[in-house]
Amino acid sequence: MIRNRSLIPRICESFYAENLTSALESIERVQYMGELRFDLSRLEVDDLNIIRNSFPKKPLIFTFRGNSESALERLKVYERAVEQKFEFIDLDITTDPEIISRLKPLLKTTTCKLIISYHNYTETPDFPTLRAILQEISQLNPDHIKIVTIAHHANDLESLKNLQSLIPSSLCFSMGEFAAQSRLQSLYGGAPFTYIALQANKQTAPGQLDFKEFQKLYLEFRGGKELKLAVLGNPIAHSKSPILFHEFFTKHAIDGIYEKIELDDIQEFLELKPYYDGFNITAPFKKTIMAYVDGLTQEAEQIGAVNTIYKEHEKWIGDNTDFSGILKSLKPFLSHPDDNTCLIIGAGGAASAAAFAMQQKGIATTIINRTPSKSLELAQKFGHKTVSQPNLSNFRIIINTIPEPFSLVNKYELNTSHVVLDAIYSDSPFAKAGIETGFHLIKGEKWLYEQALQAFEKFKNSILQ
């Protein structure tokens, strides 16, 4: 299954429940953030305590639209929701002005945030009216502004788009026929999140889609972006690549988007490629992706791994920028290759790039891996050596590509003469050892940045063809 990890934190899965057990089961299924529609549910006020105690870390929006209850009755329920530390409460500017006013002092004493919304279930008002509503809500200083209407034609979508441009962090979208398109438009316009249905057969608003259908439309949606990119891997949520590429977009004045997508099987790449301009590839797919591209660069073919895929004359080309990222990261320490020796820890795709990089520089290199046959295969490919129990004093440069290197090497052999390039940037095993020992640590972020910059240039050139 394809899971867009850039999208998931930006959706709120809305639901209602017939009883407490059903509510707890629904929240369990919520991927990131959920909206409990208390007004559509058959729950008791005391159930709120059980719900929050059962899921204290899952962000939840509490919504209680007016039915037959009085404002005072709804106020008391909202107070309980605030006390139970729901992340957000949603109140309507038209029906709930008194409740908003009376809850403001309580909200100042808690972490609960306020969404002030406007709903029109019959039409999309003209733009001056919408702008006046936006300004009215803005003056109340909520944490989020939400404006939702019924859209009957494309002009209504344009009005909502223009409205959100006044306050890009607001949520402006429609219900009904254009519900999905307007939510996509709102996300691309800067909304922090949007709403979908937790279950397709239990919508809380007309036109809501569930995650599977909404994600499909999101993947296909371009929103006028010049460059649409993604990194593919599993796991992928930890990736810092989107941060780097958004910096590149800003520096080069490119209106681009870069997403993190988790795959169960590399064959799912075939579903994605019609909708993107390029991809970065990370573990565990750097080798298996090679069968799904139209051609390989010489470097990718020699390394036997791909971390970058770009278009060239409508053909998908697999490339490898990992090795150049390694060379750029180590550049200050490679001026005298005859005096250098290198130990590579690991034998996967990143290690292959490291072995190729060291071969290009003529540096005597040894490879160690948990599975000796893999390290031997990699060493023979690039004319390097293998070892089962290395003495770190025999090496100046150490390139680590695995999460647990100290199962293979003795960290107490590290000294101030060592230069360590660690590809594991999210939780570097060498970081603490570096403080204790004093060797020179080049963090994985440096490697990530250098290879990403090379990939960005290829993506940028591909759209300029």
- Tens digits of residue pLDDT in 200-225: 999 999 999 999 999 999 999 999 99
CA dist 80 and 68 (Å) reads: 19
Domain range summary for the chain, segments of one domain joined by +? 3-220, 227-323+450-463, 334-444
Kindly name the residue from 286, 328, 443, 460 that is annotated as catalytic: 286
Are the C-beta atoms of 243 and 280 separated by less than 8 Å? no
Q: Examine residue 142 and say whether the peptide bond preceding it is cis (omega within 30 degrees of 0).
A: no
Which is it for strands 3-4 and 256-262: parallel, antiparallel or unpaired?
antiparallel
Do 227-323+450-463 and 3-220 fall under one CATH topology? no
CA dist 9 and 5 (Å) reads: 7
Which of 342, 340, 341, 346 lies closest to 408, judged by CA? 346
Cα dihedral sign, 158-160-161-167: positive
pLDDT above 70 as % of the chain: 99
Whether 251 is catalytic: no
Q: Write down the pTM of the prediction.
A: 0.90
- Tens digits of residue pLDDT in 291-350: 999 999 999 999 999 999 999 999 999 999 999 999 999 999 988 777 789 999 999 989
pLDDT at 464 over 80: no
The CATH classification number of 334-444 equals 3.40.50.720
**Local confidence band at 462 (pLDDT 50, 70, 90 cut-offs):** confident
- Tens digits of residue pLDDT in 240-257: 999 999 999 999 999 999
- Tens digits of residue pLDDT in 100-145: 999 999 999 999 999 999 999 999 999 999 999 999 999 999 999 9
- Tens digits of residue pLDDT in 371-404: 999 999 999 999 999 998 999 999 999 999 999 9
pLDDT at 432 over 80: no
Instruction: Share the mean pLDDT of the chain.
Output: 95
Helix or strand (DSSP H, E) at 319: strand 315-319
**Local confidence band at 438 (pLDDT 50, 70, 90 cut-offs):** confident
Task: Give burial (CB, 10 Å; 0-12/13-18/19+) of 21.
Answer: exposed
What pLDDT does 354 receive? Answer: 97
Domain 3-220 is of which CATH architecture? Answer: Alpha-Beta Barrel (3.20)
What pLDDT does 151 receive? Answer: 97
What pLDDT does 436 receive? Answer: 67
Fold classification of 227-323+450-463 is: Rossmann fold (3.40.50)
The amino acid sitting at 440 is H
What pLDDT does 434 receive? Answer: 66
**Local confidence band at 58 (pLDDT 50, 70, 90 cut-offs):** very high
**Cα pseudo-dihedral 372, 378, 384, 385, rounded to 10:** 0
